[in-house]
Structure 1
Amino acid sequence: MGKPDIIYEDNDIIVCYKPAGIATQTRRIGQQDMESFIRNYRAAKNESPYVGIVHRLDQPVEGVMVFAKNQKAAASLSRQIKEHTTEKYYRAASRGQGVSGTAVEDEEAWHTLTDYISFDKLTNTSKITSEKDKLAKKAVLQYRIISNECNKTEFDIKLLTGRHHQIRLQLANIGYPLIGDTKYGKPASNNSGTGSKSGRTGGGVREQLALCSYKLVFDHPATGERMTFELP
């Protein structure tokens, strides 16, 4: 498991790298999470321990996140996320073969997936259902295939809505369960020597989830400047 890292900081925001395996926020005593990491970081500098959590990444997902250092910044960032003016980009990888109608050879072209997703609290899983389901929420993402070789397909994804396990579920639904996904994938997709410890590149027998939030774009809550943070 990697360690969290501060990418950028000013009087209003902290932008961090969250490693796979660390929760955004947890109530489990003794378990590290991003909230406590930032609280401790700020306390060490004799600052207010306030941490405004405005969005989340699932525990097995790595990537870039922004946290607010005051309530005004938190309100601005939360409003941007609610109004879908932020931009969230992910990289994902699958060994799936797709289903009928999936244009795997049409690389670089952007495609849109639109589904309705319902969440089951008892199992902590989501499923694709019908628009008629009153508990379902609309889920939209755009994807393009950036590599399709060696029995591995890599995706660039722009997330337009933030539903529970949305990327994992929607890609699995078109025949591309993510490498390392034990909830929506198949056993054969989760054990191989060609996957990634970090979820991006590399190798390992028991693979981590091949999903990384690599780029985040938003307006600075104080200055209004459009800011982009992207992992190398």
Structure 2
Amino acid sequence: MSKILSNKSNLQVLFEDNHIIIVNKRAGDIVQGDKTGDKPLSDVVKEYIKVKYNKPGNVYLGTVHRLDRPTTGLVIFAKTSKVLPRLNKLFLSKDINKTYWAIVKNEPPKMQETLINWLKKNPKNNKSYSHSKEVTDSKKAILHYKILKKLDNYYLLEINLETGRHHQIRSQLSNIGSPIKGDLKYGFDRSNKHASIHLHARHIEFIHPVKNEPINITAPLPNDPIWDACSS
């Protein structure tokens, strides 16, 4: 389990050096600013750096990737403009391995499977629809899942992505009849508290683009009875 370096202002910093900072995002936090005007996680991290290192003026922070607002787990930020394009390259070349955990109520068809769909985003309702064949303006989406644990009323899945499409995990799991707990947008029947969903960016693994050292970080699970049952 990763050591939590900071919990100031509800910010869980799991890894930090001169180049990179990795945090454990809470449900409801937005990674970057949007039309809601809510304070984004990127601003919280900037404030943390500014205070910790007593930095005058503006603090640089590069956003490498995003998580959906109701999702929890690992988010990587670049602390320098030098390392941002290197991290972007790692994502584009699929040299960053990301593992997600998801809780679903309906048992998937198989214990483990590779799902291949073509996703088409509808910007009007901010939703991606899964198709079995390529359609106009669709993008190929590939993920691998396996059932890790049978809970009392749910199933814990581990998911690894080959592609990073809009709402990919949510859409593809819904497409096989196993929507994520709390995810009303993709077919679950009840919402969670605070509009969260039970999807967690659990683990990340890559080679540090400057130090050339392996980085392996695991994000602690949210404080929630069902997540607690997954680790018991």
Q: 1:111 to 1:132 in 2, by over 3 A?
A: closer
- 1:40 maps to which of 28, 44, 47: 47
Q: 1:94 to 1:71 in 2, by over 3 A?
A: same
The 5-angstrom pairing of residues 16-55 of structure 1 reads: 16-28=23-35, 31-44=38-51, 45-47=53-55, 49-55=59-65
Question: 2:103, 2:181 within 8 Å by CA — same for their partners in 1?
Answer: yes
Amino acid at match of 1:52: G
Question: 2:116, 2:132 within 8 Å by CA — same for their partners in 1?
Answer: no
- 1:14 maps to which of 21, 41, 56: 21
TM-score, length basis structure 2: 0.83
> Hey, what's the Cα distance between the residues in 2 that align with 1:30 and 1:127?
27
Give, in angstroms, the shift of residue 122 of structure 1.
Answer: 1.3
Question: 1:60, 1:208 within 8 Å by CA — same for their partners in 2?
Answer: yes
The 5-angstrom pairing of residues 5-154 of structure 1 reads: 5-28=12-35, 31-44=38-51, 45-47=53-55, 49-98=59-108, 102-103=109-110, 106=111, 110-129=112-131, 131-154=133-156
1:159 matched to which residue of 2?
161
> Hey, what's the Cα distance between the residues in 2 that align with 1:42 and 1:231?
20
TM-score, length basis structure 1: 0.83
Q: For residues 18-47 of structure 1, give each alpha carbon's deviation from its aligned partner in whole angstroms, at most 9, with x where no partner exists.
A: 111100011357622111011112222233
Q: 1:153 to 1:25 in 2, by over 3 A?
A: same
Q: For residues 108-154 of structure 1, give each alpha carbon's deviation from its aligned partner in whole angstroms, at most 9, with x where no partner exists.
A: xx421111101111111110135432311111111110122423111
Question: 2:70, 2:195 within 8 Å by CA — same for their partners in 1?
Answer: no
CA-atom RMSD in angstroms: 2.0
> Hey, what's the Cα distance between the residues in 1 that align with 2:211 and 2:107?
46
> Hey, what's the Cα distance between the residues in 2 that align with 1:149 and 1:69?
40
How many positions carry a matched residue from both structures? Answer: 209
Q: 1:78 to 1:150 in 2, by over 3 A?
A: same
**Structure with the bigger percentage of helix:** 2
Runs of 4+ in 1 over 3 A off after TM superposition: 27-30
Q: 1:29 to 1:185 in 2, by over 3 A?
A: closer
> Hey, what's the Cα distance between the residues in 2 that align with 1:54 and 1:135?
25
Question: 1:114, 1:140 within 8 Å by CA — same for their partners in 2?
Answer: yes
Q: For structure 2, which runs of at least 5 residues remain unmatched after alignment?
A: 1-8, 221-232
- 1:224 maps to which of 185, 200, 212: 212
